Every structure is written in structure tokens, then in C-alpha cells.
Chain A
């Protein structure tokens, strides 16, 4: 059995994911609210209202509670001298191995919400792919970025 990767997303990341889920749910509830209003206005059959309410509940439950939990649970990463390994996914657990030699550049990015929580995303680009490690504490993200770029520069192509 391959060993579990060392690092997890900080707990704060989970909170942000829940926040995103909340926004999602709000959008869905607005749409469903419109649907309910239309049903009331045009006197459509009333089961539409029940479906709408059920949908809001399901979306809320899934995107605020269930999905962030599972996702957070699955997220692991490790930056070693010669490769970067990340594990992520909701229903399908994906584990990606990127040789350090292939890394072309590393970016960090931070939106307003992430900034408020002092978090940042790192994206690692190779010639063909881009991989994102989300929700790292800003300081960690910055030091990780410079570490990866140093390692990538040192890594020699000897295969």
C-alpha cells in the first residue's frame, strides 16, 4: 500500500468551502423562489413547490455540509525533492504525481473571500497541465511556491 500523503488543507479551508456552498444554495433558492412565485401566479400544479423546496434542501445539505466534508477529507498533498503529489476528488479519489523537472511555473492567487480568511491557492503548471492546491494559509502558500520554484530549477533532467 502506498503511504498516505503528509499534508492536509487547513481547517479554515473547509469553512471557505462551506461558504461557497452557501452562495451556491442562495443562488439555487433564488431560482426556486422564482419558480414558486410563477407556480403561484399561473396556478401550476402545487407539486412543483414541493420539488423546489426539496431541491433547495438537497443542494444545501450537499454543498454546505456533505461535499465540503468529503472533499476536505480526501485532500492531501506533499512536495518532495523530486516530485509533487496531490490527492483530491469527491466521488473519484484522484492522485496525481508531477515530476519536479516538468514544473514550468508556480502561481499563487487569492480572491476577496480567501483574503479575508488569509488563505491562497497555488497553481502548478507543466507544459501540458495545471494543478491547483487550494486553501493554503497565505504564508505557507508563499513559502511553498518559492520552494517549488527553487526545487524545479535545481531538478535535473537525467532520465
Chain B
């Protein structure tokens, strides 16, 4: 095994530095907004020190960051030794981290703009232990060849071990493991991206963002002048108002499309050697790898708009990882026609079933889906009616959509058990189908209020491991009998075997 020590690419220093700068932007802005940009370099001025001291501190911090970045790059080495990936860095305090190859769960790649220019990647090494969302080792910038080399070395050693095991078991040599077969499970084209952008909830976020941005500049907008204009506007008639609304929606939509393209451009899912590899991104390319056996549960999410057009999104709850920790849930298919959904899922996880008849909650459970909302709703309505009498009475109308939503939730809810698989279906706003295997369930909990007990219904909540805290799925107000059946399904019944 070679013991060459490798260094990061010098760009690593720049990347670290820029990342540090990003963190500084916010405090910088806050301080200078608070100061009102009254920076003066005239020592005679009374506010000279008040403005120069924060500026000086910032310059100092930036210089320290720069030195830090350079030092980290200067001292950072990694190498392979005794089937371990070894990393060392630090000038005064030396940090060393050794990771055995067979503990490495996945190598995730990320390419920022700087990386793209120089043909580099950022490699994040994840182990089973890195459930707190942080990768064990981050190689900030190395060439693609170096990244391939890491992958090659780790894989080769794993295969060697595997072969040794086989040899010791069977006593004769086995032919070399087949070349890794990789197949594309899912790929998004530009049309899909457009639909994704249009139906995503980020539309709402963008609208909120535009509104927030507008409100920020509110003082610069000449409202009085606008209102005068607006009264003329009204004279022009309804059409122009509608047109203005339409234009602002179009604007919002374009922003949503741009964001979606930047994030999801060239979204590809590849299955290779029992591992899933997901690549995406336009400016910043990201690549995440999940070993198939780390997948804990599958979640099919249909938001109301998408459900109307027969689209769904699929996410996996994975025990490790995600893109460097900020996303614990990994999106497998951001958008897919529901009719075309089951084939790739079946290919990927052949032991799971996808289309089953669900056991529904009983009719008597119907009121339970909206009754609980009245607890907070009635005081709100009473308050509104009291304060803004008589117009506040219109708040009574809220009850209608709440009941309708409740009925919709009732209609969606259901569960199915088949073999070792539990499927829960529920809705808050989006319809969620949660599929989990028995061996992945960490805990199953039934909940029953006094009122539910009287009508013999109960709710159920299942927890699986995902990231640091775990993920849960709930099905509300099922028949108590059904939930008890679910419980005994999870129990291990020796006497029945």
C-alpha cells in the first residue's frame, strides 16, 4: 500500500476563506445597517472611532480567517495506510483522524463554482457514526482524479476482504467479482423541472420572499404617489389590475424556475453495487451516495396541486447522511408521474410492495378529524366576533374549510400490513405514503384519548431512524382493533412459529 501523502488543492484555502466570509456577511450587515453606513475616515469627526473600530475588527477577523484557511490547507494531508484513510491537519494543535475503509459508508461529492473552474470536487466521507449530520472527514478541494483514487482504493480493499472471506469459507479461489453494474433509475428532463418549479411549495416561499423584499424597501417606495397613480389605475379598469397581478405571478414563477434549475438541474439517480448515487445541481454540483441497506423508510409525498395532476415526490429516510447534513431526508425523485413511480421503486427495492388495498378508518372516526380543531378555533372565532362585531362573525366561515380538510384527511388515512412491511397513509395538507419494513421500526406507539376510547378508535405513530432525531409517521383515528393487530404484528411471537 502506498504511503504517499496527498495535499489538498490550493483552492481549498480560498473555499474555506469564502465559506468563512459567508458566515460574516450577516453580522457585518447588521452592524453597518445599525450604523446607517456612517463610515467616516476623518479623525476629526466625532464618530470616527465609533465607525472605525467595528470596521477594524472586521478587517482583523477577515485576515485571521484568511490565515486560517491557508494554514489549514498548508498542514492538511491525507493518505492511505493499513486499510485506513488517515487525515492530519493543524499547526499548533495537530488533529488526526483515521477511518478504516470498511467503516466508510459513503463518499459524497460537492462542486461549488470555484471547484468547477479548476475541475475539483469536495469530498465528504461519511461513516455510520456520523448521524449528527456532520461528515466524518471533509476534503475541501481535491482533483477529480484524486477523488476517483480514494473511491478506487477503498473499494479495492473492501473487495479484497470480501474475497478473502469467501476463500476462507469455501477453501478455493473465487472468480473476480463482476464489474460494478450501474443503471440509471431516474433522470429528470427540463420539462419535469418546469413542472417541479411550478408545483413546488417554494412558489409560496418565493412569494413571501418577494413580499419581504418589497417591505424592506417600503420606505423608498413613494406610496402617496403610487396611490394617486393607483386611483388612475382603477379608472383604467379591472383588466390592468389583473394584468399587474399576472405579471407579478409570472415574475415569481420565473424566480421559482431559476431556483429549481440551479438546485435540480441534471438530477440523476444511479444504482450501482447496492448503492444509490444521486447527482444534481447547475452551478453547484452535488453527489450523494447511500448504501441501499441504510435506507430506513420510503416516503411518497403528493402535495394537493401535484396530486391533482397525478404527480408525486419520493424521499428516502436514510440512517446516514444527506448533502453534508443540512438535509436529513434525501429526495429520490423530486417529481415523477405517479403511474410511472412504481416500476423504478420496485427495481430498487424488490422486497417491498407498493400498491396495496389500505384499511381505512371506520365511519364513526370521521368527526375526530376536525373536532379537535374546534378547541383552538372556537376561542379564536369568539374573540374575532367580539372585537370586530358584526363583521367578525364572518370568521364562522372558517369552520367550513376546516371540516372539509378534516374529511379529506379522513378519506386519505389508511394502513396496510403485508409480510414484513407496514404502509401508513396520511395527510396534513400533502398526502404522504410511508412505507417501512418491520426490521427498521424503532418504536410503535398507539395514542388514545378518553373520547377515542369510548368510540373504540386510536391513532398510531411509527418511528424510524433518520439523521439524528428519527422520523415519524402517524395515522390518526383507526379502529382500535386494527391498531392492536399492528402491535402484535411487530411483536415476535415465538409460540406461533
Contacts and interface: CB of A to CB of B under 8 A. Distances in A.
Nearest to A155: B492
Interface string B424-438: 000000000000011
Contact of A92 (B449, B488, B490): B449
B164 interface: no
A97 B464 contact: no
B396 to A, nearest CB: 27
Interface in B432-456: 437-439, 441-450, 453
Given A94-B445, A96-B444, A159 B439 contact: yes
Contacts of B318: none
Nearest to A80: B491
A127 B494 CA distance: 25
Interface residues of A, number: 24
Interface in A29-79: none
B466 interface: yes
A129 B491 contact: no
Contacts of B494: 81-82
A90 B278 CA distance: 45
Contact of B448 (A82, A83, A93): A93
Contacts of A2: 484, 487-488
A83 B491 CA distance: 7
B452 to A, nearest CB: 8
B455 to A, nearest CB: 14
Contacts of A92: 447-449
A128 B490 contact: no
A102 interface: yes
Interface in A112-159: 126-129, 131, 157, 159
B484 to A, nearest CB: 5
Interface residues of B, number: 31
Nearest to B467: A128
Contacts of A81: 494
Contact of B449 (A91, A126, A131, A159): A91
Given A92-B449, A128-B464, A98 B491 contact: no
Contacts of A93: 447-449, 453
A129 B463 contact: yes
B442 A102 contact: yes
B10 interface: no
Contacts of A98: 442-443
Contacts, number: 78
The dominant DSSP class at the B interface is mixed
A159 B445 contact: no
A129 B445 CA distance: 11
B447 A129 contact: no
Most chain B CB neighbours (cut-off 10 Å) among A2, A93, A128: A128
A102 B420 CA distance: 16
Contacts of B107: none
Contact of B490 (A91, A99, A129): A99
Contacts of B466: 128
Given A2-B484, A97-B490, A131 B443 contact: yes
Nearest to B471: A128
Contacts of A101: 439
Nearest to B419: A159
B465 interface: yes
A101 B469 CA distance: 19
B319 interface: yes
Interface string A1-35: 11000000000000000000000000000000000
Contacts of A127: 131, 319, 442, 465, 470
A159 B341 CA distance: 27
Contacts of A95: 445-448, 487
A81 to B, nearest CB: 8
A151 B441 CA distance: 18
A157 B492 CA distance: 11
A126 B471 CA distance: 13
Given A83-B491, A128-B470, A97 B449 contact: no
A99 B436 CA distance: 15
Nearest to B459: A92
B473 to A, nearest CB: 12
A66 B101 CA distance: 58
Given A129-B470, A159-B420, A159-B438, A89 B447 contact: yes
A63 B354 CA distance: 48
Interface in B285-341: 319
Nearest to B490: A97
Nearest to A91: B449
A38 to B, nearest CB: 26
A128 B469 contact: yes
Nearest to A101: B439
Contacts of B445: 94-97
Contacts of A126: 442-443, 463, 465
A87 to B, nearest CB: 9
Given A82-B492, A97-B490, A99-B490, A129 B449 contact: no
Contacts of A131: 443
A94 B453 CA distance: 12
Contacts of B441: 99, 102
Interface of B: 131, 319, 420, 437-439, 441-450, 453, 463-466, 469-471, 484, 487-488, 490-492, 494
Given A92-B449, A127-B319, 9 more contacts: A93-B449, A96-B446, A98-B442, A98-B443, A102-B442, A128-B471, A129-B442, A129-B463, A159-B438
Interface of A: 1-2, 81-83, 89, 91-99, 101-102, 126-129, 131, 157, 159
15 contacts: A1-B484, A2-B487, A92-B449, A95-B445, A96-B443, A97-B443, A97-B445, A97-B491, A99-B490, A102-B441, A126-B442, A127-B470, A128-B463, A129-B470, A159-B437
